[in-house]
């Protein structure tokens, strides 16, 4: 009996250890605040901190606890909270917007309506349950010090041409997300497959040239900065543009053929303990003050004459920008059979991914 009890205890301990945990956490506002808001998100604390500080500084002694998660783990923990019916986070914000729509579709979100949400474009508001709060671009990142301007790919066609020669100096030095580890990476890659006639040629070029599928935005951009990679494909521009402020070697291209536009999706879980406070936080992010703070953090990227200097815009912006709409069409890529086949195709292209399933991308 003692042996059986020991085995059971070990199994329980192993199950507990397997539970996903946040990558980082930080609190804002008074430690003894009467009301606390729990926000879980995929945005790096450094990028989101000003927004959290501004909301926590409002009158009333509010406290905010922010947990930073990888996109896949955030989805799993939110879905588990929903199924168990216990207390959940008060707000969940993710760049993997398809997973957010799935959570709402599974009945895990509660509705919120306000002047701010009513002002959102239709592509950024699904059923008053999932809300797009940012405007970020999927870009090609490069190092100005290592690549001449004439070499910089302005489109996917250009990138394919760079990788075509057997003696290309870009062989093994192009990076993108590992779609098995990154919910955002999967979203971008699947969107590419639906948007582009170049997708087949592009992944063939990736496979032939030894392109690298690896971890998170910060790691990929680090690799571009130190010369490990010459180019990074489909990277979230908010991180690249923030790094360009610190390192003038970093620059980004919004591709001419088309540029995916992502709005990080916020939802209020059905079991939120502070749904009204979460709604107030959402409205704050959609207010002029909140949006100014998001823009300062490059989470809202301007594409007019005030665009960041490190960003090269498409030649035809009126037709090149393609928003990823918050609609049930996002669920197509999450179909088990489609996902299995797509991941199998990806594995055949990137047999030696460096990020692996232990990576924690954004």
33 and 150 assigned to the same domain: no
Indicate the pTM of the whole model. 0.89
75 and 180 assigned to the same domain: no
State the pLDDT at residue 6: 39
List phi, psi (to 5°) of 40: -115, 130
Domain for residue 34, yes or no? yes
72 and 52 assigned to the same domain: yes
State the pLDDT at residue 61: 82
The CATH number of the domain holding residue 216 is 3.40.190.10
103 and 238 assigned to the same domain: no
State the pLDDT at residue 237: 93
Residues of the chain with pLDDT under 70: 1-18, 351-362
State the pLDDT at residue 355: 45
194 and 323 assigned to the same domain: yes
Domain for residue 46, yes or no? yes
Range of the domain at 125: 19-134+263-286
Separation between Cα atoms, residue 281 and residue 60, nearest integer Å: 14
178 and 81 assigned to the same domain: no
Domain for residue 11, yes or no? no
52 and 149 assigned to the same domain: no
Task: Count up the domains in the chain and report the number.
Answer: 2
Cβ atoms of 330 and 11 within 8 Å: the answer is no
State the pLDDT at residue 2: 43
Domain for residue 44, yes or no? yes
277 and 321 assigned to the same domain: no
The residue among 152, 141, 134, 158 whose CA lies nearest residue 311 is 141
Domain for residue 317, yes or no? yes
Domain for residue 114, yes or no? yes
Cβ atoms of 314 and 255 within 8 Å: the answer is yes
197 and 324 assigned to the same domain: yes
139 sits in which H/E element: strand 136-143
State the pLDDT at residue 18: 66
pLDDT single digits (tens) 215-264: 888 899 999 999 999 999 999 999 999 999 999 999 999 999 999 999 99
User: For residue 104, how many C-alpha atoms fall within 13 Å in the half-sphere facing its CB?
Assistant: 27
State the pLDDT at residue 142: 98
Residue ending a domain, among 253, 286, 319, is: 286
State the pLDDT at residue 83: 94
The residue among 185, 245, 269 whose CA lies nearest residue 220 is 185
């Amino acid at each position: 009996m003692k042996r059986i009890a020991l085995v059971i205890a070990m199994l329980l301990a192993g199950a507990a250890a397997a539970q996903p945990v946040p990558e980082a956490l930080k609190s804002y506002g008074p430690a003894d605040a009467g009301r606390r808001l729990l926000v879980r998100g995929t945005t790096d604390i450094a990028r989101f901190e000003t927004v959290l500080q501004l909301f926590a500084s409002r009158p009333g002694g509010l406290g905010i606890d922010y947990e930073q998660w990888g996109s896949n783990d955030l989805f799993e923990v939110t879905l588990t909270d929903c199924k168990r019916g216990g207390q959940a986070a008060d707000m969940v914000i993710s760049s993997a917007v398809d997973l957010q729509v799935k959570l709402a579709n599974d009945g895990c979100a509660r509705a919120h309506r306000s002047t701010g949400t009513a002002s959102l474009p239709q592509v950024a508001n699904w059923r008053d349950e999932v809300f797009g709060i940012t405007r970020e671009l999927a870009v090609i990142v490069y190092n100005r010090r290592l690549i001449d301007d004439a070499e910089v790919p302005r489109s996917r066609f250009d990138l394919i041409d760079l990788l075509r020669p057997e003696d290309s100096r870009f062989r093994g030095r192009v990076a993108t997300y590992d779609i098995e580890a990154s919910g955002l990476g999967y979203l971008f890659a699947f969107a590419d497959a639906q948007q582009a006639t170049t997708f087949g040629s592009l992944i063939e070029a990736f496979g032939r040239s030894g392109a690298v599928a690896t971890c998170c935005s910060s790691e990929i951009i680090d690799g571009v900065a130190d010369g490990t990679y010459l180019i990074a494909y489909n990277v979230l521009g908010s991180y690249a543009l923030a790094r360009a402020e610190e390192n003038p070697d970093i620059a980004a291209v919004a591709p001419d053929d088309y540029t995916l536009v992502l709005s990080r999706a916020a939802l209020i879980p059905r079991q939120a303990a502070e749904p009204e406070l979460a709604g107030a936080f959402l409205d704050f992010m959609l207010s002029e003050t909140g949006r100014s703070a998001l823009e300062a953090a490059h989470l809202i990227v301007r594409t007019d004459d005030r665009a960041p200097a490190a960003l090269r815009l498409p030649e035809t912006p009126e037709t090149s920008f393609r928003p990823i709409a918050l609609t049930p069409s996002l669920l197509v890529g999450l179909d088990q059979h489609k996902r299995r086949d797509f991941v199998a195709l990806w594995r055949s292209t990137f047999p030696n991914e460096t990020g692996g399933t232990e990576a924690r991308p954004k």
